[in-house]
Amino acid sequence: MKPNELNAGNIVEFIADIFERRGAESYLGEPVTMSEHMLQGAWLAEQDGAPEELVAAALLHDIGHYTSEFGTYSPDDVEDKHHDEAGGEVLAPFFPPVIVECVRLHVSAKRYLCATDPTYFGKLSPASVHTLSLQGGPMNAE
């Protein structure tokens, strides 16, 4: 099923299919799978007392890696594939704006945190450091 074939009746099946088909793959070359990464995000949000919408956004934040017309991330990539935008675009017709905007803005949030919190960058994995460089690096005053 392609993103342009989605409707309210099949969006959950589409997402479940991504987890089923791609969930066991290594996540961006990291020692966790795609499913583990996304479930960890949701679990951490839940443990932090986040509302259900933010838990859902944490679960779905990287769905764009698997829906983008540009394909999935590779450690050899030399340009950003805009998975944040791809994920937001796929989810927008079916999910509340708060979920969509969290997905769409999570890369900007990473860039902001790297610019404003001296400890945040040090917590990034090697793959996240690489994607940060492709995504424009830490934000600046511009």
pLDDT by residue for the chain (142 residues), tens only, comes to 776 789 999 999 999 999 998 889 887 778 899 899 999 999 999 999 999 999 999 999 999 988 865 555 555 666 666 889 999 999 999 999 999 999 999 999 999 999 999 899 999 988 889 889 999 999 986 6
Predicted confidence at residue 98, as pLDDT, reads 98
Model pLDDT, residue 82:
82
Burial profile 95-104: b = 16 or more Cβ within 10 angstroms, e = fewer: beeebbebbb
Q: Is residue 20 part of a domain?
A: no
Q: How many domains does the chain have?
A: 1
Domain membership of residue 65 (yes or no) is: yes
Identify whether 113 is part of a domain.
yes
The pLDDT of residue 118 is 83
pLDDT score, position 67: 82
What the block records as the tokens of 13 is: 């099946």
Does 139 map to a domain?
no
- Cα 58 to Cα 53: distance, rounded to the nearest angstrom: 9
Structural domain range at position 37: 27-134
CATH number at residue 58: 1.10.3210.10
Residue 90 included in any domain:
yes
pLDDT for the residue 38:
93
